Every structure is written in structure tokens, then in C-alpha cells.
Structure 1
Amino acid sequence: MKFRHLFIACLLVFIVGCDNKEEEKTNEDAEVTQIPATEAKLTQNLNAPFNLEMIDGEIFTMIRKDGGFDMGDGSHTTLFVYWATWCPPCIIEIKPLNNLSKNFGKKLKIISVLVNDPIGDDEIKDFIKKHNIDYSITRDSETLIKSIGGIKGIPFMVLYDSNGNYDRHYFGIIAEEMLQKDIEKLTGDLEVKKDSNETEEENDNNVTKEDKK
């Protein structure tokens, strides 16, 4: 009988210990998915030109200047998106960003910058395919983050006009409508991609972009 009581007591201790470990693991997971701070460490010449290499192999060259960057050929507004694949709010913003990329076409360049994300090359390619991401993604975040003075967390976005001048930044989840209005102010009319049938129908009905707004 004493042995039976001792066995039950040991069993209870074991069960409680597993529960506690599971609770600790849950808490650890919650801490891991908290948005981290990323501080700028000015240990290099940030005025020198630098390249961002995209996952698809594209090279994007930038040069820091007062109030922004020289980048591209001046034909597009640029939106930098700092994020991570483990960040739930960041994932929520993928669909709106896809919509904006489609709506504005070549007038908007979205560069998605991975921050504190150890995801492998094959995994990120699978992630891109799964979420149908049609804008640029780069891992080269260190120099870029230093150049803008650091970020306090993710998701974090910075918007620049076609001349590379800083316009505004956003922290947290931002409504697609707000982003669209802010980008429209810099780009003008939307460059909406439509199929030939929609275009012909609009021409027949004499519907213009202004009429649709």
C-alpha cells in the first residue's frame, strides 16, 4: 500500500513537471515572436554606395543623401517593408502589399527586407510561392537599417518619392486604403493592370479612371 501511494505521488510530480515545462515552452515561444528592436550601429561609411541583392538575383543600388537616397532611375516611388516570416502582423500585410504592387505596377517599387529571420533560401522560396508574393525581397538589411538610423520593431515601412526623398514611415499593421492614398499622392493615377476585355468594355462605355473614382 505504501509503495502504491509513493508511486502515485511520483506520478503526480512527473505530470505537473511536464505541464510546467509545456507552459514555460509556450511562454518562450511567445517571447520569441515578440517584435524585436533593431538599433543602428554607425561603424561604417554610410555615404558610400551599396547594393541590395534580392532573393531573385536582382541588384538594387542605393546612395545615401540628405533626406533620403539616390536609387533607381526616378521612375517609381519606393516602399521599404521591414518584416520577418515569423511575425504574424507582417504576414497579414502580404496580401495588401500584393494588391498595391499589382495596382501601381511600375510606378511603385516594393522592397521587402527580412529582419532577424534565419529562414533558409529554399524555405523563403517556398514561402514566396505559398503567399504569391510578387514584389522584391532581400536579406541585405544591416546596411540599409543603419542608413535610416535603425528601426524599433516590425512590421515597419518607409515610403520614398520617385526622387528618393523620404515621405513618411509606418509602424504596425496599416490599412491598405491608407497606403494606397499616400502612394497615390506621390505617383498620380493608379496603373491598374486589366485584361483586354475589361479595357474594351470601359472604352465602349466611355468610362475613364476619373469617372471610376
Structure 2
Amino acid sequence: MFKIIVACIFFINIYANDILQEQIDTENKTITILCFYTTWCPACKKSIELLNEIDKNLHTKVKVIGIDLDDGIKRKNYIESLDIRFKVINQNLLQARRYGVKDSVPVILIVGEHRTIVKRFYELPNRKYFFALIQRLSSGYLENGTLPVQERIDLWKKSRD
């Protein structure tokens, strides 16, 4: 039981001394999507197409960052061939493991406004569900579609006046 609790706490926040932290802090967007991928993975290619679409349609609300786990030569050709529009950085697997990336990719993390990981996908998410989730989160709702607790309390108090 203790090991599970420690693991959960370990992965909650984005690390302070990390290149991803710098990327997340550069813009004041509500949500950041991190996608860990490799150039040889077919599911990664589909996830990049999905994220390109999100970046195109929701670029004012959402920041998308791709994290390539391959070397630089393959990455440059891959970015050009897929017309990747979002920011791409390179990390090795050891660095990516801090975010829960193990032996399979793609791994997609949705980081909320307080730099906490809101949702993890260890496979390509359903397009309709993913877009709905991003819309809810960027509108200030929780993953399940409800308002955060404090906002619900404020609405309740306002209705009691």
C-alpha cells in the first residue's frame, strides 16, 4: 500500500528542474498536452495527426508539446514528413520515465492549469472523447464535466442570497 501511495505522489506534479517545465511556463494557456512518441511507432503517427488537429483548432486554449524519444536525425525528417505544427523537444527514455513512460508509446499527458497531470493516455485516445475532454478542461470544468469544488460552493452561496 505504501509503495502505491508514493508512486502516485511522485507523478502528480511536473518537475521543477525539467526542460518540459520551461516549455509549459512559456505561455499562459490553460492546458498543455504532452505527447511522448517515437518515429517508428504507427500509433504515434496517428496520435501526432490528432494533436496537429487539436493544435490547429484549439491553439488559443491549448498548448501541445511533442516529446520525441528518438535521435535528432530521425526526428527532423519525421517532423517534416508529418507536417508537425507544434513544439517538439527531444528527451531520452530515462528522462521520460519520470512522467510514467515505460516501454510503450505513445503516452499522452494532459497538464492542467496548476501544472498537475489531469489525465494520462497510454494508447491512442478516441478522437471524439479526447476533443470533448479538452473542450471541458479548457472551459474550466473537471474531467467528469463538473465545476471545481470552490466554484460549486460559490454558485451555491450565490443562489442562497
Range with greater deviation from structure 2 (101-110 or 123-132): 123-132
Matches within 5 A, 1:18-167: 48-52=16-20, 61=22, 71-115=25-69, 117-120=70-73, 123-142=74-93, 144-167=95-118
Structure index of larger Rg: 1
Displaced runs of 4 or more, over 4 A: 141-144
**Any idea what the Cα deviations from partners look like across 1:47-104, whole Å, max 9, x if unmatched?**
552224xxxxxxx617xxxxxxx74454230111111010011112222111111111
Q: Which amino acid aligns with 2:68?
A: L
Q: Is the 8 A contact 1:111 1:138 kept in 2?
A: yes
Query: Percent same amino acid among aligned pairs?
Result: 19
- State how far apart, in whole Å, the 2-side matches of 1:131 and 1:51 are: 24
Structure number with higher strand proportion: 1
In 2 relative to 1, CA 149–130 (structure 1 residues): closer, same or farther, beyond 3 Å?
closer
Unpaired stretches in structure 1, ≥5 consecutive residues: 1-41, 53-59, 63-69, 190-213
- State how far apart, in whole Å, the 1-side matches of 2:78 and 2:99 are: 27
Which residue does 1:28 correspond to in 2?
none
- State how far apart, in whole Å, the 2-side matches of 1:91 and 1:108 are: 20
- State how far apart, in whole Å, the 1-side matches of 2:84 and 2:15 are: 31
Three-state SS of the structure 2 residue aligned to 1:179 is helix
Report the TM-score when normalising by structure 2: 0.66
Three-state SS of the structure 2 residue aligned to 1:79 is strand
Three-state SS of the structure 1 residue aligned to 2:19 is strand
Which residue does 2:5 correspond to in 1?
none
In 2 relative to 1, CA 142–84 (structure 1 residues): closer, same or farther, beyond 3 Å?
closer
Unpaired stretches in structure 2, ≥5 consecutive residues: 1-9, 141-161
- State how far apart, in whole Å, the 1-side matches of 2:84 and 2:100 are: 27
Report the TM-score when normalising by structure 1: 0.52
Shift of 1:179: 1.2
Q: Which amino acid aligns with 1:182?
A: L
Give RMSD over aligned pairs.
2.8
Three-state SS of the structure 1 residue aligned to 2:39 is coil
- State how far apart, in whole Å, the 2-side matches of 1:61 and 1:101 are: 19
In 2 relative to 1, CA 152–61 (structure 1 residues): closer, same or farther, beyond 3 Å?
same
Matches within 5 A, 1:196-211: none
